[in-house]
Amino acid sequence: MSESIVLRSAVPEDADCISEIYTESILAHDSTMDTEPFSGGEMKRLLDRLGERERVFVLETDAVVRGWGIVKKYSDRPGYRVACETSIYLRRDQRAKGYGSLLQEKLLEFCREVDYHHVVAKIWADNDESIEFHHKFGFTMVGVQNEIGHVAGTWRDVAVMQCLLDS
């Protein structure tokens, strides 16, 4: 990667780009249970609702957002304050360039900074690339939730993976 890469916290002005990237995955029906395209306004509202231990990061090259990742709390229940969930989405034509790895490293770094111990990733069970990607970062398979979702006329199984961070 010789180009200049910027990894930063998302700002409201990124909402349209983030929603475009997410909508690509929604319309592909291969990685999210959302079924309708996200608008920039909806994404801005999501950004506005994030708590202090939640964050969206964007990765840009040449001042263009190529991908984004999110750290969000796992649950509102106090006992789960040590747990979060992460997701990463890249523009479809920007995959296999190392951007996902850079975002994952940033997400895990942030998780450590805000004292999360347990990181969860929920991945469609037939998404072998994403499962292998998460294995490279220390995630292990917890199990598969069979037929937990129904998207584009098809039942979807979800693999649940976890990563325990150092104390």
pLDDT score recorded for residue 17: 95
Q: What pLDDT score was predicted for residue 2?
A: 54
Tell me what pLDDT residue 103 has. 97
pTM score of the predicted model: 0.92
Q: How far apart are CA 139 and CA 57, in angstroms?
A: 20
Domains and CATH numbers, the chain: 5-119 (3.40.630.30)
Query: In angstroms, rounded to a whole number, what is the distance separating the alpha carbons of residues 131 and 133?
Result: 5
Residues 30-73 have pLDDT tens digits of 899 999 998 999 999 999 999 999 999 999 998 899 999 999 99
- Show the low-confidence residues of the chain (pLDDT under 70): 1-2, 167
Q: Are 62 and 4 in contact (CB under 8 A)?
A: yes
**Angle (CA) 52 56 60, round 5°:** 140
CA distance 66 to 61: 7
Q: Are 25 and 16 spatial neighbours (Cβ–Cβ below 8 Å)?
A: no
Three-state DSSP class for 149? strand
Q: What is the pLDDT of residue 94?
A: 83
Look up residue 6 and give its two tokens: 């910027």
